[in-house]
Structure 1
Amino acid sequence: MSKKFLFGLVIIIIGVNLLLNAFFSQAGSLIAPLIFIVIGYYFYQRGRRVLSTIFFIMSAIMIFDQFFGLNFIALLFAGIFLFYGMKLMKGSSYEEQSNSRKRRKKRQLQAKQKRKRRVTEEEITSNKMDDEDDKWDYRHDYDFEEELPFKKGNQRIDDRDVHTSSRSDDPRIAARSFNSSNGSSEKTRTTYSTGNYAPVIKRNILGDIHYNREQFELKDMTIWNGIGDIRVDLSRAIIPEGEHIIIIQAVIGQVDLYVPEDLKVTIQAYSFIGDVSIFHEKHSGFNQQIHIAPSDYKQSPRRIKLILNTLVGEVRVRSI
């Protein structure tokens, strides 16, 4: 956002305020909060986080005081004390819950590894039994051809009957069919059990939300943040097959997503005041909306639908 754009925006706000004041007597109280919001956003774009936070807080104080008749400073300090007090009281329970989640994930990982090893051992055993059966059938046919006579008294013995009866009475062939049927059913049960998962829903009032430090299993996600930045790096995600939906909504802040180049995504991005930058396309100003959908999106085995909204801030999607 340039200085000319900033001054032009302030002049527009003043003009709109005067126009509304001509029809509504209470509209004059809107000008100062809106100007402080615009100035705060200007400093935020310049990387001046401290100054932008000060202007945002001043605009919030004016809005709460003029429209709701509330003391914002008292509410802010009360909320801070309540938050940290509850955090100290429940700190031990949070640690216990995190430890239990880690232990549960570890047990699930061990169970998956055991199932994979069992399926692999059954496949190896089945292949060995196939090789042994082929060798045994060859020796069995050879013995019948060499040792059994073609006539027994006045009755002729058909080779096909001898071979068919010998194979049907072989206990190893029955065992092999039983093991292979059990193995296929076990694989089906494993695939069914790993397909179920619950979506992720995360809400935050003040602070940043990051999914870019460690690997994580991607699920359907809904993230709501009041004031702060949101960063999600999909290159660190373990993405199962199918379509996944990620919904991110922010009131004031910046939304950053990093998408691998080989991943198919469809994007719906919206910003009321701020910039929207999707790959190589960028729009600035008011009420900006971009929708991108590749033609081969539905044919991709792994695909993600992104819905990104912010009231005041910037939405950026980059490929890596």
Structure 2
Amino acid sequence: MKYRRLGNTELQASVIGIGTWQFGGEWGHDFSQKEANAIFDAAREAQINLIDTAECYGDHLSEQLVGEAIQCDRDRWIVATKFGHRFYSFNKRDWDLSPEGVQQQLEASLRALQTDVIDLYQFHSGSNQAFDNDALWTMLDKQKQAGKIRFLGISVSASQAETNVYQTARATQVGANVIQIVYNRLQRTPEESVFPLCEQQHLGVLARVPLASGLLSGKYAKGVTFPSNDIRSQQNEEQLRKKLEEVERIQREEVPAGTPMATWALAWCLKHPVVTSVIPGCKTPEQLRQNAAAAELAGND
């Protein structure tokens, strides 16, 4: 495993992290604690130390599975979670970015994670109006002073490019050290818009969805369908077809022979000098081990 400094914090994060959206049950599988524990045992073996979760991956469900899995050795992990939503059901969430609501979410996250402090607490894809609430950031700064939060970050939207630029440009003004953004071989927009701002402010960058929701794993061909309880089933059929055609071209023309496409795709993200870590999800210990192998292709730091 390789490690990189997370922005201008003192945190040394593994270049491969664990994304845990899948633990909330929206990727077609409900995880047991035993299954989550096995994934984290594999992460220990691979020397991964970075976990990304959120308040609305289930109703703090992902956080609960994570918290139980790491309670025996909490201090070895960098735990990142998020705030801004209340979860009700599959694909149904309400916004709550009021200072009072976020403080309640923070306390709920601390309980779910079985911890006294969250290493990275991230604004979760909210609007610019919610972002520009000084009272919110004042409250969060007080929570930092109280020792409940170590560092703040901004997890920017998957689709709002102008919002992403606006919030990233103001990251240091609100005390944030890290930007989390969708970045992968099929989605390169951040290279021109967000990454230069991250470099100017010495922000850490977490690349989420680095496998394009599994499309860059090499497992799916044109015509694939996903079950209704899998969030990928919501994609437009024509857009999905075009993406898979592009994946076939990439695999044919860019991926070296003998290299698994998923491993190559993760390493591709890490070759950008601004990216600190990638945070792919995984459903099994074997998938986690395959993800971890990308560190060997990431190049020297």
* TM-score bucket (shorter structure): under 0.3
Q: TM-score, normalised by structure 1?
A: 0.23
In terms of fraction of residues, the more helix-rich structure is: 1
- Compare CA radii of gyration and give the structure with the larger one: 1
Q: TM-score, normalised by structure 2?
A: 0.24
| Structure of greater relative contact order (alpha carbons < 8 Å, 6+ residues apart) | 2
